[in-house]
Structure 1
Amino acid sequence: MTDHDVTLRVNGKEFTGWMRVNISAGIDRIARSFDVEITRQWPRSGNLAELDLPVVEGDLVEVLIGTDKVMTGYVDATPLRYDASQISASVHGRSKTEDLIDCSAPTQPGQFTNRSLAQIVTTLAQPFGVNVVSNTPESSTLTSFQIDYGETVEEALNRLLGLEQVLAFDDAEGALVLDTVGTKKAVTALVLGENIMNAGSQRDYSDRFSEITVTGQRAGSDDDYGATTNSKITATVNDAAVKRFRPLTIKQCGNATLATCKARAQYEKAHREGQSLETTYTVQGWRQGNGQLWQPNQRVVVWDPVMGFNNTELVVAEVTWQLDDKSGFTTQMRIGPEAAYMPEPKLAKRHRRKKTSDDDGGDF
């Protein structure tokens, strides 16, 4: 076995010898995916049963590159096709976390009060047999959260993650990981003229604006009401890279403060800038100089004057390990500034109880 051999472990058996491979993992997706294919000349033998792979949709599968496990999940599809000269058998699948994308969130309990982010996510994932790994410090912030009827677990997660600026993605064991952006560092840099085979970037500035204004309101209470709380709260940031007048105004939902409006405006500016600089690189091979696989959520130094990166540290958002008969073993990486992948900040809902003569009306 070489460090580039791809093995599928299914039902106690190992399958190798794939002619085409496509395995992807990323920090802005919660399920890894794989697609492998084997092609044989037909008829090579008179026994057509030899061409069949004993793999069934729904089978548990482990995917390895060399001795490195890169995915644990389920077989989704087993396409077959043939023509006059050959027959091809493929296996497609995704991580265990695929059920969080496809399935509706459990409605019992549908309401969470005074629970941390990790506790809520663990409760949502548990019915699907998906473990949750939190690599972030346990939050002292207690969250109130309600499931929207019919939404998927992934949709619920997307609403939750912005509360604490946390990412959710899967790992090689099929667990759901809660983490922040760029927690690891690549050993090998990406350098034009050395290991970069090709690159591409849309450099699309149509979603960037010269000034971004976020406006909201703060609701009053029994003791705090009137014009002060009902008036607009506004924060504006400028993007110097946009030379002409292009304003954007965003309404902040929920109870707004000057700090939350400013944070949202700064996020919008940085996120849009990061998205416009996102670049896809392809390098030869699947491993870095130290023998480790290229991985998502790594910080990598990029020297590419064509794209405007001068030893710039960027984040690997997605990695695809590929094999085909044209380019051989290659790794395609989608890379951008950290801000491009930060979740949108959201306001936690706060619930108040009515004041009585026996209490002070505090929040809980």
Structure 2
Amino acid sequence: MNNTVILRVNGREWGGWESVRISAGIERIARDFNVQITRQWPGDEEQAKKRARIRNGDRVEVLIGDDLVITGWVEATPVRYDAHSITMGIVGRSKTADLIDCSATPSQYSGRSMVQIASALAKPFGISVVDAGGVTGALQGIQADQGDTVMDVLNKMLGLQQALAYDNASGNLVIGSPGAVKATTALVFGENILSCDTEQSIKDRFSVYEVAGKRAGNDSDFGEATTTAIRGQTVDNGIARYRPLIIRQTGNATSASCGSRSEFEMRQRAARTDEVTYTVQGWRQGDGTLWQPNMQVIVFDPVVGFDNREMVIAEVTWQVDEGGTVSEIRVGPADAYLPEPPKPRKKKASSTQEYF
């Protein structure tokens, strides 16, 4: 299977890289790449020509064999040298990098779906939005404030519908849920797993999560609710000793918002305990397809305690260096990657009511 990494720039294809690192994941919306060539002095004239023909701001397609993995822009062309050698590199990110870096046009969106709002935000950048399913319903009162990046506005929506936003190989934005497709190959201790790295730490987990907030009074309660806290509580049965965490819910809290926030905190923190990064030989599964982010994958690893456990691939890094051709695959339970529920909004104060 062809794993040659090609950069397609300005109608030409460039290869022969000695070091490659390409990363994609569901907790980011822009893939990135870094390729390098090192030569002894004096420098190779052909490599000098290659770098001269690839400039910052050029549109680039990155391919692994026949598989497109990134469509984006060249953002840096670093050069490093010493008395013995010179290293030249090309670095870039997906088209969706502009959604992270750039400001959104201030606008108000109501009665539209997340995909429709995201499409309106991405359109000026020439980026399409792919609906990967699992996200429905109209949203109200979504606002792009002065100075918000497009990513800031996306984050306002993601928690409302517990959705993910990430990019695909064509440089477009994908809106969907964790575990969109199933991997054809399992990660198996003693077979394709070369190494494992996990902390399995519980330092950020607690026995009970209590979210407390207050809501504005109204004409019927004459402000009594403004002095009585509204609480939501969730217990983590995986933590045996007494470890409470109290979180203050800002804005105009409700029992539902406090409850959902406490449930979120427990589920995500517990799921993060089981995150693991595996290194496997090569870049492809048994059927020849590349390992990809947001795949559901079965993991058998008795050392860590996974007995054919279904996990989500959060990030994949395809890498070549002096250590060979490997994939770094970070996996975790789906709950680890759900975005935080939105915080309640504050209501405008009147002359007869006090707000917290």
Per the TM superposition, whether the score is higher than 0.5 is yes
Equivalent residue, structure 2, for 1:359:
none
For 1:99-248, list aligned pairs within 5 A.
99-107=98-106, 109=107, 111-136=108-133, 139-222=136-219, 226-227=223-224, 231-248=228-245
Render the CA deviation track for 1:222-266: whole Å, top value 9, x for unaligned: 567654686332221111222221111122334433333222211
Equivalent residue, structure 1, for 2:313:
316
Cα gap change, 1:169 to 1:217, in 2 (>3 Å):
same
Shift of 1:91: 0.5
2 CA distance for matches of 1:47 and 1:163?
53
Q: Counterpart amino acid of 2:340?
A: E
Equivalent residue, structure 2, for 1:81:
80
Equivalent residue, structure 2, for 1:273:
270
1 CA distance for matches of 2:302 and 2:281?
20
Shift of 1:202: 1.8
Paired residues of 2:56 and 2:76 also in contact (CA < 8 A): yes
Shift of 1:104: 1.8
Equivalent residue, structure 2, for 1:355:
none
Cα gap change, 1:7 to 1:210, in 2 (>3 Å):
same
Paired residues of 2:272 and 2:336 also in contact (CA < 8 A): yes
Q: Which sits farther off after the overlay, 150-159 or 48-57?
A: 48-57
Paired residues of 1:78 and 1:91 also in contact (CA < 8 A): yes
Indicate whether 1:307 and 2:304 are aligned: yes
Equivalent residue, structure 2, for 1:37:
36
Provide the secondary structure at the position in 1 that maps to 2:261: helix
Equivalent residue, structure 1, for 2:353:
none
Cα gap change, 1:170 to 1:44, in 2 (>3 Å):
closer
Which runs of 4 or more aligned residues in structure 1 lie more than 4 Å from their structure 2 counterparts after TM superposition?
44-51, 220-226, 347-352
Equivalent residue, structure 2, for 1:17:
16
Cα gap change, 1:244 to 1:55, in 2 (>3 Å):
same
Provide the secondary structure at the position in 1 that maps to 2:175: strand
2 CA distance for matches of 1:330 and 1:56?
29
**TM-score scaled by length of structure 2:** 0.91
Equivalent residue, structure 2, for 1:342:
338
Paired residues of 1:43 and 1:85 also in contact (CA < 8 A): no
Paired residues of 2:214 and 2:225 also in contact (CA < 8 A): no
Q: Which sits farther off after the overlay, 135-144 or 330-339?
A: 135-144
Provide the secondary structure at the position in 2 that maps to 1:163: helix
1 CA distance for matches of 2:188 and 2:302?
10
Q: CA RMSD in A?
A: 2.4
Paired residues of 1:220 and 1:226 also in contact (CA < 8 A): yes
Shift of 1:40: 2.7
Unaligned runs of 5+ in 1: 353-364
Render the CA deviation track for 1:83-129: whole Å, top value 9, x for unaligned: 3443322100000011111112222x2x2233322222112212222
1 CA distance for matches of 2:46 and 2:163?
53
Q: Counterpart amino acid of 1:104?
A: S
Cα gap change, 1:46 to 1:289, in 2 (>3 Å):
closer
Paired residues of 1:271 and 1:341 also in contact (CA < 8 A): yes
Provide the secondary structure at the position in 1 that maps to 2:89: strand
User: Alignment identity in percent?
Assistant: 51
Work out the number of aligned pairs and report it: 349
2 CA distance for matches of 1:52 and 1:114?
49
Cα gap change, 1:298 to 1:347, in 2 (>3 Å):
same
Cα gap change, 1:112 to 1:46, in 2 (>3 Å):
closer
Shift of 1:181: 0.7
